[in-house]
Each structure stands twice: as structure tokens, then as C-alpha cells.
Structure 1
């Protein structure tokens, strides 16, 4: 993953009263600009292909994509996954003045009204504020590992160890909350994400058990891309469809705008 270069970073817009810092992560500085609207490292798998297409790829530093929903359930997603992905991209453009953006969204609790029969979905949205072009590419049943279950509030319990093994922990990080976030509101102070060692697991179990409905805790895969290599692979997979669609729409080095 590219490290934000805060020296000589272009600044196009503002968030509140503070300048929104942009980091150039790939591409020629004279090329047309595009944002990757992420706070979870997805530029690692999306930026190289976008640069090859003819873009200068920028990352809006400290851009809060969680404002449009979290997997942990402490911030509920307004609307559909399609709407959230597009809105992430639109807001990034509007906040920075960069006319184009790519943003992702995942749906890992089945939504049969939108994706009949699908277990999970990965989406990538593209927005061009200059031309008005907007679209979403997506794939269903992507290879992201998503495992969840209720376990005793004891990290050493056989049920807990079995579920952790199924998650692929600690290479894939864990999340602990009192109750399933798919079934109700979760308070931010009761959400423990990115867990990768025993001490953090024990503390999360201790706190969440005091707030759960039955003394058990809800343990599941951390689905954020920078905490879950299988999710990052899914983003990359949909990225190939996005790049092909951009070519079809005329966004390529051979186009006069991208020469």
C-alpha cells in the first residue's frame, strides 16, 4: 500500500475549515486526476491499473467513508449498497474538487431483494462530475471470507477456538460485538475491530459479555479490506471489471482527454 506523501501533495478542496490533503499514489502528475475514496487501503489494488489507464491517482487523506455505514453496525448504511458506493465517490469529488472518483462498498449479509441468491457482493462505483457519467460494477459470491457466530465469552473455549480457526485468525483480523450487527443497533463503545492478539480478544470478550443478551458474544471476521486479505482480493477482482468498463466509456490513454 502506498504511503501518503504529505510533502508537495496537491490540495484541491476543503473539509470544514481545514484543507483536505491529497496524496498522489500513482500515475503521471500531468495526467487527468482520479480519487480512490477509501480509508482502508484499497488503493493498493486499484491504483496501479488506474494509472496504466492514464490517470493520476490521488488518495484523499483522512476521508471518512465510515460516515456512510460500517460492517460493525454502529453506523447504519442509508439506502442500498449501490447508493452508498456512488455517494462515497460523489462526496469525495465534492470535498476535493477532483472531478472523478472510485469508491467501493461490500454487502456481506444477504440482501435478497437486490441480489437474489447471492451470499455476498462487492461493488465499485465510478463518478465523473464533469461529464455526468456514473456507474457501478459488481460481482456476487466473491471469495471474501466472512464467518460469524455466538461463542462463550472465553477466548479459550473450544467453540471460540474453532470459530477463530475458521476465520483464519489472526492473519484475518476479528471483530467482537455483544450481538449480531445484522439484527440491531450496536453502540460504538461496544465495537472491537482489528483484533489480532489474545489480550485484545480477552478484553473485547469481557466488555461485550456485559452488554449481550445472553452472556455470549458475537465473533466475526473483520471485513475491512486492510484487515482481511480475502476482501482485498475481492476488491481487486471487481477492479478488473471497473477498468474494462472505463475503457468502454472512453477513459483510456488513447482518448484525447487522456493523451
Structure 2
């Protein structure tokens, strides 16, 4: 279905450096990028343009924008967000989504990777000493820094700082003009190698999903559509909230298959039982 076709990677932040090699090696695709559209119009990490839609809707908009601007019929795009981890208390997380849209065959496949491996951070800086400490903490200069007058003020923003001379000059300029400087990590992929690695992992998950075909109609993307709890407690046998089975669903022919014990265990530890450990 994909061999010999061209895949447009909808990015302006060099994500093709990790996405293209994986797709070309696994599917024999020719990957390319284009500058005839601007994905930043849908939202920016640097704060000038707020993202108006959720991740999935934004991804679809990215793919549609790219397809319409180039007439490509096979597009991949990624979208990320940073903040508190959904399950690990007090941990920052990088939440990356990658979507493949095959307009020729009407296929949409999505994968997600949540990682605590991120340097996401911001701080109000009052001195060069504090600035140098901040830079060391966020792995500068291999990872870029953004400077602006305050956390919410994007006027006179200085982006993509990757050298000490730029960092000091930017700090002096903003401090003299505004009396305050807010420093934050530049989370755009081309300035953040740590984020780029998470995007690569999300892409690997996407490829694994693509390679999983529906056993009935052979459409790619036969994926988990429902997770059923109820794994029995090892001590009392009561159903727990842990996963008992997953249901794979085909978006094309609606075929379903239920697979029990996806974690490879038939009983849950009593510590996760609401009866044994209320």
C-alpha cells in the first residue's frame, strides 16, 4: 500500500531528521518536506500563537493544510505538549502524538508517546549568575533557550538561542528595556534534541501500528479501540481496575478481536485491589 509512494512530513522544525529514516527503511517510501505552508499558524511553543484546538484536531488540520498546499496524498505530522505528567505526581512530561493520513485509501493512524525525559522549564531571571545556573540546568547550549520580558509577554522575544554570547547579549538587552527577563527552554524540535528523541519513539509506535493489519480486510492500523478492566486479584479473586483484556478494532471494516491478559499476567497484585487494599 505504501511502497514506492511519496510521504510528505508536515514540519518546519526539522522533524524529518528522525521521522524520514524510519519510514524510508520500513516501507520503501520517499520522504520530503515543503515550505509552501506554515504549521506555526496552528499554534506555537514560543507563545505568539495559541493552539485553538486539541491535539488530534490540530494534527488533522496540519495534515489537511499540507495536503491541500502540495497535493500530497500521504502525510505525516506530529504535535506535542508539555506540562504535568498524567499519572506521576510532580513530574514534567513531554506528550507527543504522531499521525499518518493516507488520503488515497482514507486511512488515519495515530500513535502517542508520553515521556518524563524532558528539560521543559522556565524561570524569572534577575542576574547573570542565575542565568548561567538556568542554562546549565536545561542542558544549554545543546538545547536552545528563549528569553522574553515576562512569562506571558512575548514582545521582543528572542528565540533559538544556542550560544553563550547570544544568551548574555539577549539578557542585557531585555533587562535594560523591561527590567525583567524570563528564560525558558525552547521546545521547538530543532532546538531540543531530547524532545526529538521522544518524537522518534512516537514514530516507532506509529510504524508498529501501521504494520499491524486487520486479519479480515488487511487494512493497516488494526489497533486497540477499547480497554476492559477486571483482572482478578491474586488473593481474593475480585475484579480489579487493572486491564483484563483489550479489543482491537479495524476502522475500515469494523472487525473486532478481543485479547485477554495483554500484560502477560492472569492475576493482579493485591496491593491494587480495592477490597484487599481499600
TM-score (normalizing by structure 1): 0.73
Q: Which residue of 2 aligns with 1:87?
A: 61
Residues 142 and 240 of structure 1: is their aligned pair in 2 closer, same or farther, counting only changes over 3 Å? farther
Contact map agreement 1:39 1:64 (CA 8 A) in 2: yes
Using CA pairs under 8 Å that are at least 6 residues apart, name the structure with larger relative contact order, 1 or 2: 1
| Count of residues in Structure 1 that have an aligned counterpart in Structure 2 | 211
Q: Which residue of 2 aligns with 1:238?
A: 202
Cα drift, residue 242 of structure 1: 0.8
Q: How does 1:50-89 map to 2 (within 5 A)?
A: 50-52=23-25, 53-89=27-63
Structure 2: give runs of 5+ residues left out of the alignment.
214-218, 222-278
Residues 177 and 45 of structure 1: is their aligned pair in 2 closer, same or farther, counting only changes over 3 Å? same
Aligned: 1:200 with 2:166: yes
Contact map agreement 1:125 1:137 (CA 8 A) in 2: yes
**Greater C-alpha Rg:** 2
Q: Please give the alpha-carbon distance, in whole angstroms, between the structure 1 residues aligned to 2:120 and 2:37.
A: 26
Cα drift, residue 124 of structure 1: 0.7
Q: Which residue of 2 aligns with 1:47?
A: 20
Q: Please give the alpha-carbon distance, in whole angstroms, between the structure 2 residues aligned to 1:36 and 1:251.
A: 19
Q: Please give the alpha-carbon distance, in whole angstroms, between the structure 2 residues aligned to 1:191 and 1:246.
A: 40
Residues 41 and 92 of structure 1: is their aligned pair in 2 closer, same or farther, counting only changes over 3 Å? same
SS of the residue 1:79 aligns to: coil
Aligned: 1:119 with 2:85: no
Could you say what the CA RMSD is over the residues aligned between the two structures, in angstroms? 2.4
Q: Please give the alpha-carbon distance, in whole angstroms, between the structure 1 residues aligned to 2:206 and 2:39.
A: 20
Residues 161 and 242 of structure 1: is their aligned pair in 2 closer, same or farther, counting only changes over 3 Å? same
TM-score (normalizing by structure 2): 0.68
Give a deviation string over 1:186-226, Cα, whole Å, max 9, x none: 24xx22111122332233224433675xx332111111111
Structure 1: give runs of 5+ residues left out of the alignment.
1-27, 253-259
